[in-house]
A and B are shown apart, each in its own frame.
Chain A
Amino acid sequence: EVQLVESGGGLVQPGGSLRLSCAASGFTFSDHYMDWVRQAPGKGLEWVGRVRNRPNSYTTQYAASVRGRFTISRDDSKTSVFLQMNSLKTEDTAVYYCVRAYSFGYRFDYWGPGSQVTVSS
């Protein structure tokens, strides 16, 4: 059974940093791209970014709203993906979902339950 479980969320002050982790199991993690998607309170879904797999050199891409502040990485040996968030703003407050991006990122077929990040003073 495929499982994705996020951890590391919480309350942080504006300008602060937070690192989310996502532990994956039940599939060959190293084969897949992994993405992060977020959802602000009462709002829709927003793609945050992606880390590709080893054959694609672990390249990353980001939404414009987080580029330069957020970094996505992965550790295939630990079947985990990470989201390092720096220079956090109040508008980054959201539930952050770890997502398996199946078939070279063409669809999000498995989602974690989400991790709440609140940026507030």
Chain B
Amino acid sequence: DIQVTQSPSSLSASVGDRVTITCQASQDITNCLNWYQQKSGKAPKLLIYDASNLETGVPSRFSGSGSGTDYTLTISSLQPEDIATYYCQQYENLPLTFGGGTKVELK
């Protein structure tokens, strides 16, 4: 199985800050990576697919990048509504696997 290690597990930032979350896969996943946002008590929501493509309707302050085993989700200017837990997910191989999550809080 492909392991996906996400970091940090939590972070605290101020409104307007640039926030970066990383995922490292245990092998090359050739951009087969998605990012999801989960707000408290709600189902996850797709943000980024295929490592760098913005899902329809997602604000442009979210972006994804990376290649090989290392991928990044960036929020260019943190907004109060971005407070959530973020997960990466690889689909290079079954079983599909998720990172452990990054909880983003306001400072």
Task: Name B6's closest neighbour in chain A (CB-CB).
Answer: A44
Q: Of B46, B95, B101, which contacts A107 at CB under 8 A? A: B46
Q: How many residue pairs bridge A and B at CB < 8 Å?
A: 52
Q: What interface size band does chain B fall in?
A: 20 to 34
Question: Is A61's CB under 8 angstroms from B94's CB?
Answer: yes
In Å, the complex CA distance between A64 and B101 comes to 21
Say whether chain B's binding surface is mostly helix, strand, loop, or mixed: loop
In Å, the complex CA distance between A50 and B96 comes to 10
Residues in B neighbouring A107, C-beta threshold 8 A: 34, 46, 49-50, 91
Q: Of A44, A50, A109, A113, which contacts B87 at CB under 8 A? A: A44
Question: Is B97's CB under 8 angstroms from A108's CB?
Answer: no
Residues in B neighbouring A47, C-beta threshold 8 A: 95-98
Say whether chain A's binding surface is mostly helix, strand, loop, or mixed: strand
Question: How far, in Å, is B10 (CB) from chain A's closest CB?
Answer: 13
In Å, the complex CA distance between A47 and B91 comes to 11
A14 in contact (CB, < 8 A): no
Question: Is A108's CB under 8 angstroms from B87's CB?
Answer: no
Q: How many A residues, CB 8 Å from partner? A: 19
In Å, the complex CA distance between A64 and B45 comes to 25
B99 in contact (CB, < 8 A): yes
Task: List the interface of chain B (C-beta within 8 A of A).
Answer: 32, 34, 36, 38, 42-46, 49-50, 55, 87, 89, 91, 94-101
User: In the complex, given contacts A45-B36, A45-B101, what are 5 additional A-B residue pairs having Cβ atoms less than 8 angstroms apart?
Assistant: A44-B98, A44-B99, A45-B38, A106-B91, A107-B50
Give 21 A-B contacts (CB < 8 Å), ordered by A residue: A35-B96, A44-B98, A44-B99, A45-B87, A47-B96, A47-B97, A50-B94, A61-B94, A63-B95, A64-B95, A105-B96, A106-B32, A106-B49, A106-B91, A107-B50, A108-B46, A108-B89, A109-B46, A109-B55, A111-B43, A114-B43
